[in-house]
Structure 1
Amino acid sequence: MTLTPPSNITYEPRVALKAHATTNDHIDGAWWPHSSQLESEIRDLIETVSERINPVVRVVFHENDWVHSLSRIQVDNHLIRLDGYRYWPSGVVKLRGTNDKQALTIMVIPPNTSTPAAATILAAASNRRDNSTVGELMELTSVR
């Protein structure tokens, strides 16, 4: 079942980021979208990270994690490539800026995750001392 938020309701983005981006492919934070509709959800995430990456020019994700149809979207007069890959790790999105030094690796918490479980993951993923993998973070709450 795909959860889709009604278009007339505005939601606050549910994102928690580490204070500073990691220097490798460790998780920089977590995001708990309201649905699996990539084109509608990604805009809020991009706005949330705009102080760290501006503009975001590319979003990389596992192609089966999201319902999507567009290969590009426009946000604030910037064209953003949406690149879904079969071999990209599930549960992770990578936001890239105009160079490779501008990048964030963000864990995606499934939309149907309970509030207490998502809160636990958001807190752990944004802890600067936490170097957990996506799998380890999901195990914190026995979410699979």
Structure 2
Amino acid sequence: MTATILHTPAVEDRTSSLPLRLVLAPAANTAALLDGAWWPRSRDLTAELPALTAALDPLWGRITRVTVNPTFWSVIPRKVPVAGHVVHVGWFKAEQDPHKLLLLSYTTGRWDLLVIPPEIGPGTAARLMAEATDPTRSLTASALIQEAEFFRVAAEADWDSTREMVWDSEGGHGAGRPVSGSPAQEVITQVTDPAEGM
């Protein structure tokens, strides 16, 4: 079963009035590449990590270290204070998927979360959260983001073609022009082929 945590953090920060957007995979899903998905509201780790780790501490044991790939995080603080303790933050560029967050606990182990970009819309984010916690899926974090982008582009293309069909059916391109025998066609048929005159 998937757990959705809507948590209002006790730590005061600029996102404290908004619920935490986090979904965790079933605990028995040991073969999965991801343990859940997190949809932060910004790329500010100092503001975002306290709420995340405060929510996960009771479930997974005290989170002591977090690692990220710096590709999408402009500032990576070395330490972030969280409800009575400090979480150390590190980064790995080549070794870590840029769309993944690793959380480490000395007492329990390691968890990998898909990081859904803050700018993604709610529909795509919900789909990504469901796919990241689906025990039958085995895509990496970046592969899930690429797949979501593919579906978004395809949906936009379908939407554009649907809008164009509606526009055409309501008189768009051909409005006010006869379907056959247009003035351009009449001019073209009046011009004789130069080869015929020779």
Provide the TM-score with structure 1 as the length reference. Answer: 0.83
The question of whether the paired residues in 2 share the 8 Å contact of 1:38 and 1:67 is answered with no
What is the root-mean-square deviation in Å for CA atoms of aligned residues?
2.4
Question: 1:92 pairs with 85, 90, 100, which one?
Answer: 100
Residue ranges of structure 1 left out of the alignment (5+ in a row): 1-5
List structure 1 segments (4+ residues) > 6 angstroms apart after TM superposition: none
**Residue 109 of structure 2 aligns to which amino acid in structure 1?**
Q
User: In the alignment, which of 23, 40, 64 is matched to residue 47 of structure 2?
Assistant: 40
Aligned residue for 2:126?
119
Q: Distance in 2 between matches of 1:122 and 1:25?
A: 14
Residue 29 in structure 1 maps to residue 36 in structure 2:
yes
Q: CA deviation at 1:102?
A: 1.5
Which sections of structure 2, spanning at least 5 residues, go unmatched?
Answer: 1-12, 153-198
Query: C-alpha distance in 1, partners of 2:16/2:84?
Result: 23
Are the counterparts in 1 of residues 64 and 87 from structure 2 also a CA contact under 8 Å? yes
Greater RCO, CA 8 A, separation 6+: 1
Give the match's secondary structure for 1:50.
Answer: helix
2:25: which partner in 1? 18
**Structure with more of its chain in strand, by fraction:** 1
Shift of 1:73: 1.5
Q: Distance in 2 between matches of 1:129 and 1:47?
A: 29
Max radius of gyration: which structure? 2
1:51 equivalent in structure 2? 58
Where is the helix percentage greater, Structure 1 or Structure 2? 2
| 1:69-116 Cα deviation digits (max 9, x unpaired) | 5201121212211002222220111000015x5211001011000110
Deviation at 1:9, TM superposition (A): 6.1
Q: Which residue of 2 aligns with 1:74?
A: 81
Between the two proteins, the alignment pairs up a number of residues equal to 138
Deviation at 1:34, TM superposition (A): 0.3
Aligned counterparts of 1:110 and 1:91: Cα–Cα separation in 2: 8
- CA shift digits 1:118-141 (9 cap, x unpaired): 000001112233222113322342
SS of 2:48 mapped into structure 1 = helix
**Superposition deviation, residue 54 in structure 1:** 1.9
> Structure 1 residues 54, 61: closer, same or farther in 2, change over 3 A?
same
Please give the per-residue CA displacement for 1:12-61, whole angstroms capped at 9, x wherever unaligned: 11111102165467111111100000111111211222233221000010
TM-score, normalising length: structure 2: 0.62
